[in-house]
Amino acid sequence: MPSHRVDNSRSQWYISSIFLIFWLLLFQAIVVPLFNSLPNAKTKDESSKGVFIAQRAMENLYNLTNIGPKVVGSFNNENKTVQYLLNELALIKEQVLDDYFDIEIDHQQVSGSYIHWTMVNMYQGVQNLVVKLSPKNCTSDAYLLVNSHFDSKPTSPSAGGGGQMIATILEVLRVMSTTREIFQNPIVFLLNGAEENPMQGSHGFVTQHKWAKNCKAFLNLDGYGGGGRDLLFQSSPDQSWLVEYYKHNVKHPFATNLAEDILKVYSPDTDYSILTKYGNMSGLNLAQSINSFAYQTRLDNYNIIPSDSVQSIGDNVLSLVRALSNSKELQDIEGHAGGSPVFFDFLGLAVVEYSNYSLVNWTVALATIFLIVLYLFKISRVSNVSTSTVIGYSIPVLILQIFAFYLGWILPIWVAKVFDNCGRSLTYFSSPSLMFGLYVCPSLIGLCLPSILYMPMWRGQQPVSYARVLHLFVLNQALILAILAIYFTCAGYRSTYVIIWTLILFDLQLIINLIIPDVQYSWSGALLLFHSFSFFYVTYLQYTLLKVVTPMMGLLGRSYNPDYYIAVINAMGTILAMGFVIPLVNMFRRPFAVIVYFLVIFLITVILARTPFGFPYRPTTNVERVPYLHIRRTFFNYNGTISKDDSGYLFNFQDRHGPTPLENTVNLTGLVGISADCEKYMMCGYPLFDHHWVNSRMDLMWLPREKPIEPPRVPEVELLSKFVQADNKTIRYNFKINVTDHTSIFIQPYENVNVKNWTFPLKYIEHQSPYHIYFSYGNDNTPLSFFIDFAISNKDIEEPLFEMGVSGHFIGDKGDKISQDFGNSFPDFAAIIDWPTSYQQFIF
């Protein structure tokens, strides 16, 4: 009769539930509190201590947000905000310690242009406020730049955008200029007035300001939310000393260069790219990025910013500015170049940073494989069987573990696909707790299912014991991760550190288990002890990513299923956090009960997701962004007559659901996609606002309106002259347009016609037409004048040569009564972002 001693060595089945709950409690008791840990906000009573005072910063933030939206070219941005900041800077200048510091304030008004993605980004009269704080009698010509912006997107007061960072800079400047603490290198504080436009203020500074050439390194401060700590998510790859200063000086660390690898796929617009590309500077990119559901909407106001969060940001920026302004590296950037640093914080308690990540990764991965081989020899020895026998058992286990890895990854993605097909994507948008049931539980089912199905084979007598075969699943999980680490290292991903540090902790416990006697499940104790630290970090990183990325899922547009991204993050985190420990459910009797637990949770979550609890939007916290334009379109024939004149609303829906959630409230009868028009007209025949609208034009939707829209005015397009040049093959057109503060010009040459020269950056001619000139002005509304030289071949010069579309945007205008009534019909969970637009399309 076969022995059943293995069953006697396994714990009762119900203890498996305690085992699983233990890990959930660890996450809730340690990871979540540390993630949300913030310092207490300091008050003015502590001003004499030379520390950052959140109360003063919050007062500045309150005044800035009370101005309202600050769009480039608006009175709010160019007058109210600029004057408010000048007054604050004047007060700071009055209080500066004249015996210690010199302070200079420069009000820059700048014009320029550059190629940005798929368009010419042209600006005129945008404003920057630039402050230089220098130690008395300073001779250093190496400056530290600290940059943020005060402008905003339409409708947004921008408290969680640039507002909190501008308030932070003002307070840092105030503290440093009134504290008897000398630094070695001057500091330039750039309050730039055109970042959202995009990045025109920083471009104007680095290319034209008198102090720009002396700025050697920078801190770029931006905001994408309203709470939590500021995240260091980007650093110059060849200046590892910058991260070292961050590591040794910030008080509340929050950092990961995993974000840099994500940015290779999703490239956001920030001043960081401008400062590095055009300013040839090295720097750190920090952003407040938690709770960004209200970002760039009317809800992005003062009341969403906790003072404790501002204190955390201020403490970090002040300490970094003090340290970097005293750094010897700043005076010799090239001499200290080198290193591609890996950096991350551990639970907000400390920063880990090192440069030669490739060597570290290879060493750890190969050491893991070597230790696994040694342990296979140990199993062979203690089991009194040949090594080939152990390897024979290990191969099918490896195959099963690869399958488990695959299931742990693919099942959450399958759930995301099914939910999207059923019109239930974004259910977690306002109820993030649903993610556990929808994505984590399927991943856990996939991870443990192969071992649960396989391990019953060891119920009787076997040459290798049940416990040791179970250990093979754990060893093969490490082997898979080691191979993946080698692959991602070869591909150049610095974020491979996440796998590497999981393997380092695994290797430590494996060394211990190689030393101590092997008694059934004795190896599991060291595994659980060391892996708990890996669990803390991986779940902390997973939680961070979900907090940062989830609000972005409301901005991906209609073409992408956002649930895929959330499923992947949850799958990745679950595999790394639980991949080593989930096979241990086989230490308990009836391990299949664990599958039942997870299935029950999954089914309950599915039911909840189909109730109002799973509805993505909430009126004041998790809104659906709905940008649209009120458009009057006029198309002209070559002879100047009108061929088409119509009006309507052009929607650029920001998330997967598009118009569906609005249909019960808003009359959208007649709403159609514009993709068919894109085949008939240049740039689809619509006034696409910027490169984002251009890139998403195939997903835009048009709602015709019977009564014509009357925009505030129609920009006058004046052909000043047209003449054939001496070569008889080139025709020059001179235009003048009394543009609005935001204007897009589209130019499409006909066949056998090419642009030879023009006013705009000449290199842009190499781009495929139609060409897009995005023009905006700040404090200078001089009409735009430009020329274009067209070279013709095999074409009569009296025939039409090109088409030109001119859009005039009136951001901040509410439109006529019909448009206002239409806007008022939207449900309270919709954050509409709208304005009137004029569009004229000409044939010349």
Does residue 682 come out as left (phi exceeding 0), alpha (psi in the -120 to 50 range) or beta? beta
Where among 556, 586, 614 does a domain terminate? 614
Q: What is the pLDDT of residue 11?
A: 66
Q: Which amino acid is at 522?
A: S
Q: What is the CATH number of the domain that holds 112?
A: 3.40.630.10
Q: What is the pLDDT of residue 593?
A: 92
Query: Which domain, by its residues, includes 218?
Result: 44-347
Is 29 a member of any domain?
Answer: no
Is 655 a member of any domain?
Answer: yes
C-alpha to C-alpha distance for 508 and 511, rounded to whole angstroms: 5
Q: What is the pLDDT of residue 268?
A: 65
Is 781 a member of any domain?
Answer: yes
Q: What is the pLDDT of residue 10?
A: 61
Considering the domain architecture, whether residues 609 and 712 belong to the same structural domain is answered as no
* H/E stretch holding 316: helix 307-324
Average pLDDT of the chain is 95
Is 392 a member of any domain?
Answer: yes
CB 189 within 8 A of CB 130: yes
Considering the domain architecture, whether residues 439 and 558 belong to the same structural domain is answered as yes
Considering the domain architecture, whether residues 310 and 244 belong to the same structural domain is answered as yes
CB 719 within 8 A of CB 844: yes
Considering the domain architecture, whether residues 365 and 343 belong to the same structural domain is answered as no
For the chain, what percent of residues have pLDDT higher than 90?
Answer: 90
For the chain, what percent of residues have pLDDT higher than 70?
Answer: 97
Considering the domain architecture, whether residues 651 and 604 belong to the same structural domain is answered as no
CB 23 within 8 A of CB 289: no
532-559 per-position pLDDT tens digit: 999 999 999 999 999 999 999 999 999 9
789-826 per-position pLDDT tens digit: 999 987 777 889 999 999 999 999 999 999 999 999 99
Position 4 confidence tier, pLDDT thresholds 50, 70, 90: very low
Mean of the pLDDT values across residues 182-210? Answer: 97
Where among 614, 638, 670 does a domain terminate? 614
Is 6 a member of any domain?
Answer: no
Considering the domain architecture, whether residues 552 and 585 belong to the same structural domain is answered as yes
**Integer CA distances (angstroms), 11 to 454, 462, 588, in order:** 18, 20, 5
Where among 347, 377, 400 does a domain terminate? 347
Considering the domain architecture, whether residues 365 and 314 belong to the same structural domain is answered as no
Position 5 confidence tier, pLDDT thresholds 50, 70, 90: very low
C-alpha to C-alpha distance for 188 and 210, rounded to whole angstroms: 11
Is 178 a member of any domain?
Answer: yes
Position 1 confidence tier, pLDDT thresholds 50, 70, 90: very low
435-483 per-position pLDDT tens digit: 999 999 999 999 999 999 999 887 656 789 999 999 999 999 999 999 9
Considering the domain architecture, whether residues 600 and 529 belong to the same structural domain is answered as yes
Considering the domain architecture, whether residues 820 and 775 belong to the same structural domain is answered as yes
Angle of CA points 795, 801, 804, to nearest 5°: 170
Q: Token digits for 823?
A: 């806007």
Considering the domain architecture, whether residues 63 and 141 belong to the same structural domain is answered as yes
* H/E stretch holding 247: helix 240-249
489-529 per-position pLDDT tens digit: 999 899 999 999 999 999 999 999 999 987 788 999 999 99
Is 283 a member of any domain?
Answer: yes
**Integer CA distances (angstroms), 422 to 399, 425, 555, 657, in order:** 34, 8, 20, 11
**pLDDT over 60 at 617, yes or no:** yes
Alpha helices of 140-199 — where are they, by DSSP H? 164-177
DSSP at 781:
-
- Give me the number of domains the chain comprises: 3
417-432 per-position pLDDT tens digit: 999 999 999 999 999 9
Work out the end-to-end distance of the chain between its first and last CA atoms, rounded to an integer number of angstroms: 97
Q: 770 preceded by cis ω (within 30°)?
A: yes
**pLDDT over 50 at 2, yes or no:** no
Considering the domain architecture, whether residues 552 and 426 belong to the same structural domain is answered as yes
**pLDDT over 50 at 605, yes or no:** yes
Is 666 a member of any domain?
Answer: yes
Considering the domain architecture, whether residues 84 and 218 belong to the same structural domain is answered as yes
The reported pTM is: 0.95
